[in-house]
Structure 1
Amino acid sequence: MTSKKHQTDPAVGAEDRARLLAGTHHDPHSVLGAHPVPGGVAYRALRPGARSVTVLSGPLRTELRDDGDGFFSGLLPLAAVPETSRLRVAYGDTVHETADAYRFLPTLGELDLHLIGEGRHEELWRALGAHVLTHQGVRGTRFAVWAPNARGVRVTGSFCFWDGTGSPMRSLGSSGVWELFVPGVGEGELYKFEITRPDGSHTQRADPLARRTEAPPATSSIVHVSHHEWGDAQWMAHRGDTPVHEAPFSVYEVHLPSWRPGSTYRELADQLTSYVLETGFTHVELMPVAEHPFGGSWGYQVTGFYAPTARLGTPDDFKYLVDRLHQAGIGVLMDWVPAHFPRDDWALAEFDGRPLYEHPDPLRAAHPDWGTLEFDLGRREVRNFLVANAVYWCEEFHVDGLRVDAVASMLYLDYSREPGGWRPNERGGRENLDAVAFLQEMNATVYRRCPGVVTIAEESTAWDGVTRPTHVQGPSGFGGLGFGLKWNMGWMHDSLQYMAHDPVHRAYHHGELTFSMVYAYSENYVLPISHDEVVHGKGSLVSKMPGDWWRRRADLRAYLAFMWAHPGKQLLFMGQEFAQGAEWSEAAGPDWWLLDPAYPAAPDHRGVRDLVRDLNACYRATPALWQRDTDPSGFEWITGDSASDNVLAFLRRDADGSPLLAVCHFSPVVRPDYLIGVPEDVPAWTEALNTDAERYGGSGVTNPAPLKPEPHHAHGQAAAIRLALPPLATVWLRPA
């Protein structure tokens, strides 16, 4: 036995002690816990607020000496560090027994760290964040965070009374990752990371990879374990059987918090599924569900990129909603916002004391329109954070598509910037080369990993090749961005501008309806009547139409049937499907009372909703309307130049050549015996849909009998039919 005068003082040395108290120690495991020393095993613990700390190792019970400031130390009379040991910690009148966090090896392996360092960890959420697991035989939670500029990082939370002093994390080398396994911590615990900045100041931050958060305005992250058992195996197995651009795709855009205000994810699973089944849409598109502090941003200023908003329930509750929609045969799209993030000082902005997620160049960091920060897409770890996030929503939540917000603001260095407010790229151009590379990588990764998923770009410029494959070069020298679909903002703008004109003036603006066909096949398009068109004083869709209430509804019905027949997929924002008169408010949601039978004008609104239901039903049953959306041979003008009559007519054809004839009439007069040229090989035509039908609120000018072609040459065709053209109406006809 070594004499006491040769024994080592087990107390933490002055330098380590100061660094641990300051939160600047990069390797607390080298100091705390059990370590062999001359004379035995030194045991050191940092337990702020503890009355006593006792080490339990087999039959050995050793009470550690209180060294002040929460430090405890002692010399165990052992020849080697024990394989297992526990700490009994007394706080006031309570005693807590646990394994010591500082006896565990790192929980992250070399492969994880290598992939993180390379920016290629496609399952980043499995490595970083908080994960309940069993490590070296002990159950607890592994915390890991990327903070390369930090002088030190500690985890704090409800499990340590929000005093992170006793939970310093270790640096895992050049990866910039800090890690700590905390025994005994399980799901439901609140936590944050306490970061010591380069200047020595401290900041508490929510976990960028948190999979669950507190409901705003609270900002803590929550340790999460999923218990949801999916029931959508059939949907997942077959959702990719038909490429999306060759399949029916009719989208109902929803802001979940306001669709039925006060409803939870689980309540919406019943309500929304039932309503979408009734109205016949193939997909719902959810405005951003990722956690965001300000509800007035509608979800477009995200702080918790990996967590569904807690306003409506837990992550498992959101999975339940998606699962129910899938089991009903309804696809789920989600708005995704990789363009920017808010400046909240508890979230991503200057996360570890310096620009980290945002670009270090002030001219590249600040988004000029929204007061937010733009991601540094040239930094591989940031790009990895976002690419993995796209994969995360598709794999973990079974989302069928991502509609990527504000793509144009990402693609151009001078977007909304004045001269002198931006710097050209290395080629001397205005293109953001980092954003191009990021979008290509994101799309390629999602399509490789997630069969059946579609990505959709909200891109408002004429950028070449948005929906072209990434490996195919275009005339601009860039490969395609690799999206599956793109919002057709030009069609939306031009067609709404046409509809806003009084019919007497529409003849002079006829090209606003027909110009879209000049470029209809340059990309794979979605025709969007989204939330952006019915807010901020723009008025609802029906209120954009001129004239009295009858004319407005008739115009709306005719316009919707034109939209459903036009090449491209459809998207309609909630409330517009029943002609809501007021523009949307996130505080109130749709005016459902307009459909209440007790409301005198309810039949007017129900008529429009019934039309949308029938449009969807007829659309889904008619391959000519969707099978060749991206093939010019699927469309043929009958007349695109009957401006003086406010008439346009065209054929849509499916893969077998079977046609549907759409005739749109945007004048408030009836035109009896209107001659429309048709192919001579169809013996008779019958109405498939007429927006002037009385059941929709129309005047009832219809063509009930089959229409047989006459041998008249009209509109370049060898035959013609005589049609009773209703006022302000669209008529669909198919072979009888």
Structure 2
Amino acid sequence: MTDRHTVPAAVAPAADRERLLHGVHHDPHAVLGAHPVPGGVVFRAFRPYALSVTVAADAFEAELHDDGDGFFSGLLPLTEVPAYRLLVAYEGTVLETEDAYRFLPTLGELDLHLIGEGRHEQLWRALGAHVTVHQGVSGTRFAVWAPDARGVRLAGGFDLWDGTGHPMRSLGSCGVWELFVPGLGEGELYKFEIIRPDGSHTLRADPLARRTEAPPATSSIVTASHHEWGDTRWMAHRGDRPVHEAPLSVYEVHLPSWRPGLSYRELADQLPAYVSELGFTHVELMPVAEHPFGGSWGYQVTGFYAPTARLGTPDDFRYLVDRLHQAGIGVLMDWVPAHFPRDDWALAEFDGRPLYEHHDPLRAAHPDWGTLEFDFGRREVRNFLVANAVYWCEEFHIDGLRVDAVASMLYLDYSREPGQWTPNEHGGRENLDAVAFLQEMNATVYRRCPGVVTIAEESTAWDGVTRPTDGGGLGFGLKWNMGWMHDSLEYMQKEPVHRRYHHHGMTFSMVYAYSENYVLPISHDEVVHGKRSLVSKMPGDWWQQRANHRAYLGFMWAHPGKQLLFMGQEFAQGAEWSEAHGPDWWLLDPAYGAEADHRGVRELVRDLNTLYRAAPALWERDTDPAGFEWLTGDAADDNVLAFLRRSADGTPLLAVCHFSPVVREDYRLGVPEDVPAWVEVLNTDAGRYGGSGVVHPDVVKPEPRGTHGRPASIRLTLPPLATVWLRPA
């Protein structure tokens, strides 16, 4: 065994020491660790606060020379670098550990090339923190993109949040910094200490952290998944039918407030059962990615790769998705690539200069939300977001991404006054970088993730939102129909006596119904901030409000397009939604007398979904004009709409909507002469829904009397404020 006191020092050059002390060394591994030199092997360690450092191998132990400032070194007369460990003595303890600076980089040339090109479609597998075995040793590898940093160090609970002793190395021109730390495993808290170009220091959460602390804490957490999926059958068959030709009825949920206090796993025991009972095909989760301010409802994201820790771990979230799939329910998720908050521990000026945000302050600052917009023209930023979309679909089996605030991305002048924006290279207002990003994201997701759908919340008339990218479109599968939502709600809020003057609000949507593949959204946005809940928007007394609510839902489910309804509206909650306490579930308590008032509306929603899924006429030709026929679209004085929906084989379903609070007897409607009889399958005025019970229990047969340009017609008694569906008997 070598005498520890006779090991000659091999002090690092002063310039290297100085750079390591200040955290600005681009290649600490070239100085620290073990290196063959003439005369032997040099060992160097940088262990601030250590009393001594000893190199321990199978055949020897050698105490290194204390060079001061936390540096230790020694030259040993060896012919090659041995397998060794370090014994690091601190006050009162000795730590035996592998030397982090004896390891080769954990990222290969292909990873670095793809990152540099902005084409790493599984970026989360390269960057971030990953528990792994490297060169036969267990530990965690860390990697972060920070091209403008003068240096990056790793800080965490394992080094008492002093990153001095954990400098990371720069891996070439792509801007990635990397370090493998042996012995670290799951559950460790960490951040990156970044030395900015001006020499100042900032402590940042990992942009690709896959787990975080629960807010208001902000640290990233080393994690690994151990979930074993049980949704093989769902994943294999979810893409059997194109989404625009399939039933899609969506229940929108804010997980933290659906039933406040429930974790992901507790939600998994309750949400699938509730959604299955109501018959929705999908849930749409308001943003799940980590966000510091709960009042943003998840729309100001700081942890794009981490499910919010408020409700549990990433595997807990996987468990919830798994249970929904096993119950036959698809999972859509709100995704927010338009902007991010300015928190100084997150993405804003991440490495000391604008990095994820645009370098032009006018382009970077989002005028509405006090946030920053991504620089969609920078390939690495596009890569960060495109890979993020893929990540949620591949790692969490998400079935669809509803992309928030697309319009704010598409227009350079969005919410900006003249002089606050610069035209594009063609002199236009279109953000060409954002267009290219959305096209790349959609094309990549559809290529990599069969059966997944992307949905745009796009509030303008941008041409080709759901047109394929190879045809110049943005490439989304579906688009929220904001025009239908606005026009129909404006109509419904009018007193029935005035509705005749606004009849076009219920018919105009059919002028453009086939310009895109649409979803009809009654989302959270329509029941907050003074807009009132859906039932409270309706005029009249409480009975009429509920009747209007039911009639509107019947119209919505029959109209071309997929359906989306926000939680609480399925049972006619009277109060606006509040993220603090969620839906007013007590309204469904029989002790409250809620059978007719609220349970009846929920019963209607269940029947709407059941009948909808069983009637291909209502979804098979949503994007085909041949699947819709007006019977009467101009009965404004009667407040009546009547139309046919047809399945691919021509089977019709007849919908009659009456938005007046009177009973109209013997109301005549022209119908196809090839249907010998009709039977009522839905009537929103049925007593069990809380209606007045004006129903049609008998078969309705056409008469050879022409009406509405058709040779045959039927006579119906139209219930007050109700929608009626009939199908061939």
Query: Is TM > 0.5 for Structure 1 vs Structure 2?
Result: yes
Alignment of 1:431-580 (within 5 A): 431-472=430-471, 479-580=472-573
Matched, 1:299 2:292: no
The secondary structure found in structure 2 opposite 1:542 is helix
The secondary structure found in structure 1 opposite 2:470 is coil
User: Cα deviation per residue 1:67-118 (whole Å; 9 max; x = unaligned)?
Assistant: 2222111222212222x11111122222221110100011100000000000
Q: Output the CA distance in 2 between the equivalents of 1:516 and 1:591.
A: 32
Matched, 1:397 2:390: no
Q: Output the CA distance in 1 between the equivalents of 2:7 and 2:564.
A: 77
What CA RMSD, in Å, does the superposition of the two structures yield over aligned residues? 1.0
Matched, 1:417 2:410: no
Contact 1:8 1:38 in 2 (8 A): no
Q: Output the CA distance in 2 between the equivalents of 1:527 and 1:196.
A: 49
Name the stretch that deviates more: 486-495 or 69-78: 69-78
The secondary structure found in structure 2 opposite 1:403 is strand
Matched, 1:729 2:728: no
1:598 to 568, 591, 597: 591
Q: Output the CA distance in 2 between the equivalents of 1:625 and 1:275.
A: 23
Residue segments in structure 1 that go unaligned for 5+ positions in a row: 1-5, 473-478
The one-letter amino acid paired with 2:613 is R
The secondary structure found in structure 1 opposite 2:256 is helix
The secondary structure found in structure 2 opposite 1:198 is coil
**Offset of residue 556 of structure 1:** 0.2
**Offset of residue 532 of structure 1:** 0.3
Alignment of 1:177-196 (within 5 A): 177-196=176-195
Q: Output the CA distance in 1 between the equivalents of 2:606 and 2:574.
A: 19
The one-letter amino acid paired with 2:63 is E
Corresponding residue number in structure 2 for 1:375: 374
Corresponding residue number in structure 2 for 1:24: 24
Corresponding residue number in structure 1 for 2:39: 39
**Offset of residue 9 of structure 1:** 4.2
Q: Output the CA distance in 2 between the equivalents of 1:581 and 1:635.
A: 34
Contact 2:105 2:179 in 1 (8 A): yes
The one-letter amino acid paired with 1:572 is L
**Offset of residue 8 of structure 1:** 7.3
Matched, 1:342 2:341: yes
The secondary structure found in structure 2 opposite 1:272 is helix
1:634 to 595, 608, 627: 627
Q: Output the CA distance in 2 between the equivalents of 1:521 and 1:586.
A: 35
Q: Output the CA distance in 1 between the equivalents of 2:214 and 2:230.
A: 27
**Offset of residue 655 of structure 1:** 0.4
Q: Output the CA distance in 2 between the equivalents of 1:8 and 1:411.
A: 65
Contact 1:7 1:38 in 2 (8 A): no
The secondary structure found in structure 1 opposite 2:675 is coil
The secondary structure found in structure 2 opposite 1:10 is coil
The secondary structure found in structure 2 opposite 1:583 is coil
The one-letter amino acid paired with 2:323 is R
Corresponding residue number in structure 1 for 2:696: 703
Corresponding residue number in structure 2 for 1:74: 74
**Offset of residue 162 of structure 1:** 1.2
**Offset of residue 13 of structure 1:** 2.0
The one-letter amino acid paired with 1:487 is W
**Offset of residue 42 of structure 1:** 1.5
* Number of matched pairs: 724
**Offset of residue 598 of structure 1:** 1.1
The one-letter amino acid paired with 2:65 is R
User: Cα deviation per residue 1:281-300 (whole Å; 9 max; x = unaligned)?
Assistant: 00000000000000000000
The secondary structure found in structure 2 opposite 1:724 is strand
Q: Output the CA distance in 1 between the equivalents of 2:93 and 2:390.
A: 45
Matched, 1:667 2:660: yes
Q: Output the CA distance in 1 between the equivalents of 2:550 and 2:382.
A: 44
Residues 486 and 384 from structure 1, CA distance in 2 versus in 1: closer, same or farther, beyond 3 angstroms? same
Contact 2:9 2:65 in 1 (8 A): no
**Offset of residue 37 of structure 1:** 2.7
Corresponding residue number in structure 2 for 1:102: 101
Contact 1:8 1:39 in 2 (8 A): no
**Offset of residue 64 of structure 1:** 1.2
**Offset of residue 498 of structure 1:** 0.1
**Offset of residue 35 of structure 1:** 1.6
Q: Output the CA distance in 1 between the equivalents of 2:251 and 2:94.
A: 56
The one-letter amino acid paired with 2:76 is L
Corresponding residue number in structure 2 for 1:3: none
Q: Output the CA distance in 2 between the equivalents of 1:686 and 1:597.
A: 32
The one-letter amino acid paired with 1:96 is L
Contact 1:470 1:480 in 2 (8 A): yes
The secondary structure found in structure 1 opposite 2:592 is coil
Alignment of 1:23-172 (within 5 A): 23-82=23-82, 84-172=83-171
Contact 1:188 1:224 in 2 (8 A): yes
Q: Output the CA distance in 2 between the equivalents of 1:645 and 1:684.
A: 25
Q: Output the CA distance in 2 between the equivalents of 1:29 and 1:41.
A: 15
Q: Output the CA distance in 2 between the equivalents of 1:7 and 1:599.
A: 85
User: Cα deviation per residue 1:242-300 (whole Å; 9 max; x = unaligned)?
Assistant: 00000000000000000010000000001100100111100000000000000000000
The one-letter amino acid paired with 2:193 is E
The one-letter amino acid paired with 2:133 is T
User: Cα deviation per residue 1:434-460 (whole Å; 9 max; x = unaligned)?
Assistant: 000000000000000000000000000
Corresponding residue number in structure 2 for 1:230: 229
- What TM-score, normalized to structure 1? 0.98
The one-letter amino acid paired with 2:109 is E
Contact 2:8 2:65 in 1 (8 A): no
The one-letter amino acid paired with 1:276 is V
The one-letter amino acid paired with 1:716 is G
User: Cα deviation per residue 1:403-462 (whole Å; 9 max; x = unaligned)?
Assistant: 000000000000000000000000000000000000000000000000000000000000
Corresponding residue number in structure 2 for 1:211: 210
Q: Output the CA distance in 2 between the equivalents of 1:257 and 1:51.
A: 49
Q: Output the CA distance in 1 between the equivalents of 2:90 and 2:679.
A: 83
Matched, 1:15 2:15: yes
The one-letter amino acid paired with 1:95 is V
Alignment of 1:206-355 (within 5 A): 206-355=205-354
Matched, 1:692 2:685: yes
Name the stretch that deviates more: 95-104 or 369-378: 95-104
Q: Output the CA distance in 2 between the equivalents of 1:284 and 1:566.
A: 20
Contact 2:400 2:452 in 1 (8 A): yes
Q: Output the CA distance in 1 between the equivalents of 2:319 and 2:53.
A: 45
The secondary structure found in structure 2 opposite 1:359 is coil
Corresponding residue number in structure 1 for 2:3: none
User: Cα deviation per residue 1:131-185 (whole Å; 9 max; x = unaligned)?
Assistant: 1111111111110000000000011111112111111000001010000000000
User: Cα deviation per residue 1:325-377 (whole Å; 9 max; x = unaligned)?
Assistant: 00000000000000000000000000000000000001110000000000000
Contact 1:8 1:37 in 2 (8 A): no
- What TM-score, normalized to structure 2? 0.99
The secondary structure found in structure 2 opposite 1:471 is helix
The secondary structure found in structure 1 opposite 2:233 is helix
Q: Output the CA distance in 2 between the equivalents of 1:735 and 1:48.
A: 83
The secondary structure found in structure 2 opposite 1:598 is helix
Q: Output the CA distance in 1 between the equivalents of 2:527 and 2:48.
A: 55
Name the stretch that deviates more: 306-315 or 712-721: 712-721
Contact 1:7 1:39 in 2 (8 A): no
Matched, 1:655 2:637: no
The one-letter amino acid paired with 2:477 is G
The secondary structure found in structure 1 opposite 2:590 is coil
Q: Output the CA distance in 1 between the equivalents of 2:84 and 2:350.
A: 36
The secondary structure found in structure 1 opposite 2:437 is helix
Contact 2:7 2:74 in 1 (8 A): no
Corresponding residue number in structure 2 for 1:475: none
User: Cα deviation per residue 1:3-36 (whole Å; 9 max; x = unaligned)?
Assistant: xxx9974112211111101010000001001122
